[in-house]
Amino acid sequence: MVIHRMSESDLIILSDEVAAAKADGKPLVALETTIVTHGMPYPDNIATARAVEDIVRANGAVPATIAIMDGKIRVGLTADELERLASLKDVMKVSRADLAFALSTGRPGATTVAATMITAHLAGVRVFATGGIGGVHRGAETTYDVSADLYEFAKTPVTVVCAGAKALLDIPKTLEVLETLGVPVVTVGQDELPAFWSRQSGLPTPLRLDAPREIAAFIAKRAEIGLEGGMLVANPVPLADEIPAEEMRGYIDTAIADADRDGIRAKQVTPYVLGRMLELTAGRSLVTNIALVKNNAKLAAEIAAALV
247 is a catalytic site residue = no
Task: Say if residue 148 carries a ligand binding annotation.
Answer: yes
Amino acid at the residue 2: V
Cα–Cα distance measured from residue 148 to residue 259, given in angstroms and rounded to the nearest whole number: 20
Residue 293, marked binder:
no
Closer residue to ligand PSU, CB minimum distance, 131 or 157: 131
Give the nearer residue to ligand PSU in terms of CB position, either 65 or 270. 270
Site residues for ligand PSU per CB under 6 A? 32, 34-35, 38-39, 112-113, 130-132, 134, 147, 149, 267, 270, 274, 289, 293
Q: Which of 22, 53, 152, 166 is catalytic?
A: 166
Which CB, 114 or 306, lies closer to ligand PSU?
114
CA distance 128 to 36: 15
Active-site residue (options: 22, 32, 242, 294): 32
Please state, in angstroms and rounded to a whole number, the distance separating the CA atoms of residues 165 and 201.
10
| Residue 15, marked binder | no
Shortest-Cβ-distance residue relative to ligand PSU: 131
9 assigned to a ligand binding site: no
Catalytic-residue membership of 32: yes
Closest approach of ligand PSU to the CB of residue 294, in Å = 11
Separation between Cα atoms, residue 285 and residue 274, nearest integer Å: 8
Q: Closest separation between CB of residue 37 and ligand PSU, Å? A: 9
| Residue 150 β-bridge partners | none
Which of 113/297 has CB closer to ligand PSU?
Answer: 113
* Known binding residues: 93, 113, 145, 147-149
Can you say which residues are annotated as belonging to the binding site for substrate?
93, 113, 147-149
